[in-house]
Chain A
Amino acid sequence: MAYRGGDGPGQPLSATFPRVSPGGLSTFRTRTHNICMVSDFFYPNMGGVESHIYQLSQCLIERGHKVIIITHAYGTRKGVRYLTNGLKVYYLPLKVMYNQSTATTLFHSLPLLRYIFVRERVTIIHSHSSFSAMAHDALFHAKTMGLQTVFTDHSLFGFADVSSVLTNKLLTVSLCDTNHIICVSYTSKENTVLRAALNPEIVSVIPNAVDPTDFTPDPFRRHDSVITIVVVSRLVYRKGTDLLSGIIPELCQKYPNLNFLIGGEGPKRIILEEVRERYQLHDRKIRVRLLGALEHKDVRNVLVQGHIFLNTSLTEAFCMAIVEAASCGLQVVSTKVGGIPEVLPENLIILCEPSVKSLCEGLERAIFRLKSGALPAPENIHNVVKTFYTWRNVAERTEKVYDRVSLEAVLPMEKRLDRLISHCGPITGYIFALLAVLNFLFLIFLKWMTPDSVIDVAIDGTGPRGAWTHHQYSHNKRGGDNNEISKTR
């Protein structure tokens, strides 16, 4: 099929040279993978997917794999860049269409992606986020080239409105011949399996993680004369800002020494400001403080000022915010939606129905527990929570998925077409089967234009054994637009 088939130089080089990861973590591995993470979302854009890709890649490099990241160019940041530990990032000059997602024609990215896959000797393509067109493109091309594919879904979708029906159809097409899918919680798995009509056996659940050293408690930062409830979320419908606007007046009237600290920005901010005006919660002393948009590094400083963390989300695949809050030693009150009940054990979280009444009851329970002094110290909570979700654990579990996937056979073209036609409905199936054939012909044309043997193998700079760390010529540091290759040998 692709270059792995024939006698081309496509076989992974590192598979024959086992590398040992550094320090006490060293586990002697006989198999290492060349992994390519593809997503439209990566730094300098900020968000959950971005940090997930970065942290996962770093932990996989630590475990001896070779990892590269492909994303689209952000402003002047284009070309090839290196991050910590020689993590290589390709910022490809593709047009951004909407919301940082690239436009797709399903074909135009093939030449460049194929060139990178060949030169980096990639064996596994790992795409992230169903909103990213580039991730789906890469899956499509990788399957044409006969590479193993893994997809991570980071979000939950509905089934009812037009946009979700269309996205779900695309997801069905994209995932029906993907080797393995990773979801962040069991609820998300259920959702993805239903949306994309998948076999649940090829869907794994690997939760997100938090960096526990970033979220440490600091009890001296909060004032114990008042009780502070912290909310950190985007102020949008999906995050339940309307519920929040119902809770604030009710509780503020009942408890005179209760404050709200709200971090985040969004279209629903106006509602909260209205509530504050109407109930005059800003006179004398400020009882409801709106902090506006927070940078990720400031979140911890806001969290440690409070006693109780409130999450009012209406839908959530895996709520990172409540883990971060619990890691800072706060009591967590949250709605019981999506994957949230799986995230924390019962003694660390108070779950409520997504209604004002239920959430108020939950908060009152939390306040009562706080006043009675029956709570464990924040330091203890932190020590418990920090063992729950670590990136090393995530990397270990992801590695198992890679190990499993690398033993599987990639569907040959005729089976892939069968699968597309039988899985995706008569019309969509035939359209995408035709596109798959066209893509395959395009690939043959490209291989004729630039055979694999003409493509230089990229120097492996990742990890402690990478080309950067042992060199005989002086290492030259430079900023500017380009990165240097200091040759060794």
Chain B
Amino acid sequence: MEEEQSFSDIYGGRLALQHRYYSRSCREFCLSCPRLSLRSLTAVTCTVWLAAYGLFTLCENSMILSAAIFITLLGLLGYLHFVKIDQETLLIIDSLGIQMTSSYASGKESTTFIEMGKVKDVIINEAIYMQKVIYYLCILLKDPVEPNEISQVVPLFQSAKPRLDCLIEVYRSCQEILAHQKDTSTSP
């Protein structure tokens, strides 16, 4: 079963959330941002080149122009490969664990997996971020020594930064699976 909903991020941009219900114990959430738009790409390129031409007319050194070309190309490559995340996926399987995948615009993917034994809970939290106070979803990890303590907080959907309504949607589904997992683990 697959379902797609549209939400917005904290800046007002559009986000698409895809749920995939594989079974009662396995769900996938996929948040995708819009791809790099031609408009912003053109705007950035034009600004860099105009600045370069401005400098060129001042000091008349053609090195500046070639440097500008290199800067735009390298900047674009770096941005697509290391910064721009197109899609963030959260796969949660109750007997196994939680897997988080972020796919960069260049196609690079980075994946983290947390096994269920380490997960204490999934919660929505509040933080002060860049002159804003935002809600975010995070996973609490158990302390290996003291199971009631929390050793680490892992934030989810770090680049998409969806708004609260979207977080609640994901939070509910996660809680259902966590509750299901607790039921099965306590009464085998």
Contacts and interface: CB of A to CB of B under 8 A. Distances in A.
A83 to B, nearest CB: 15
Contacts of A112: 128, 131-133
Interface in A385-433: none
B150 A79 contact: no
Nearest to A457: B164
Interface stretch (B42-50, B95-103, B117-125): B117-125
Contact of A478 (B150, B168, B179): B150
Contacts of A458: 126, 133
Interface string B167-178: 010011001000
A165 interface: no
Interface string A447-489: 0001101101110000000000000010010111111111100
Contacts of B125: 482-485
A487 B128 contact: no
A115 interface: yes
Given A454-B8, A486-B123, A479 B149 contact: yes
A480 B12 CA distance: 31
Nearest to B12: A454
A457 B133 CA distance: 11
Given A115-B133, A454-B11, A79 B127 contact: yes
A484 B163 CA distance: 16
A484 B133 contact: no
Interface in B143-175: 149-150, 153, 163-164, 168, 171-172, 175
Contact of B127 (A80, A457, A479, A480): A80
B164 A484 contact: no
B12 A483 contact: no
B55 interface: no
A133 to B, nearest CB: 18
Interface in B1-42: 8, 10-12
A119 interface: yes
B135 interface: yes
A486 B121 CA distance: 11
Given A90-B133, A454-B8, A454-B10, A483 B149 contact: no
Contact of A480 (B124, B133, B153, B168): B153
B135 A456 contact: yes
A115 B131 contact: yes
B123 A485 contact: yes
A78 B128 contact: yes
Interface in A57-96: 78-80, 90, 92-93
A487 B150 contact: no
B128 A451 contact: no
Interface in B79-103: none
Given A92-B128, A484-B125, A479 B150 contact: yes
A477 to B, nearest CB: 9
Contact of A483 (B121, B126, B179): B126
B114 interface: no
Contacts of A485: 123-126, 135
Interface residues of B, number: 29
B140 interface: yes
Interface string A230-251: 0000000000000000000000
A487 B165 CA distance: 11
Chain A at the B interface: SS class: loop
A18 B132 CA distance: 30
Contacts of B121: 476
Contacts of A271: none
A80 B8 contact: no
Contact of A487 (B131, B140, B153, B171): B171
Contacts of B8: 454
Interface string A98-126: 00000000000001100110010000000
A395 to B, nearest CB: 27
Contact of A482 (B10, B120, B153): B153
A383 B114 CA distance: 60
B128 A79 contact: yes
A80 B133 contact: yes
B153 A481 contact: yes
**Among B11, B120, B126, B134, which residue has the most Cβ atoms of chain A within 10 A?**
B126
B128 A480 contact: no
Contacts of B131: 111-112, 115
B164 A473 contact: no
**Among A116, A481, A482, which residue has the most Cβ atoms of chain B within 10 A?**
A482
Contacts of A473: 175, 179
A227 B140 CA distance: 59
A411 to B, nearest CB: 27
B132 A80 contact: no
A193 B184 CA distance: 69
Interface of B: 8, 10-12, 120-121, 123-128, 131-135, 138, 140, 149-150, 153, 163-164, 168, 171-172, 175, 179
12 contacts: A79-B126, A80-B127, A90-B133, A112-B128, A119-B133, A454-B12, A456-B10, A456-B135, A485-B123, A485-B124, A487-B171, A487-B172
Given A80-B128, A482-B126, 19 more contacts: A80-B126, A80-B127, A93-B128, A111-B131, A112-B128, A450-B11, A454-B11, A454-B12, A454-B163, A457-B164, A458-B133, A473-B179, A476-B121, A478-B123, A479-B149, A479-B150, A480-B153, A485-B124, A487-B171
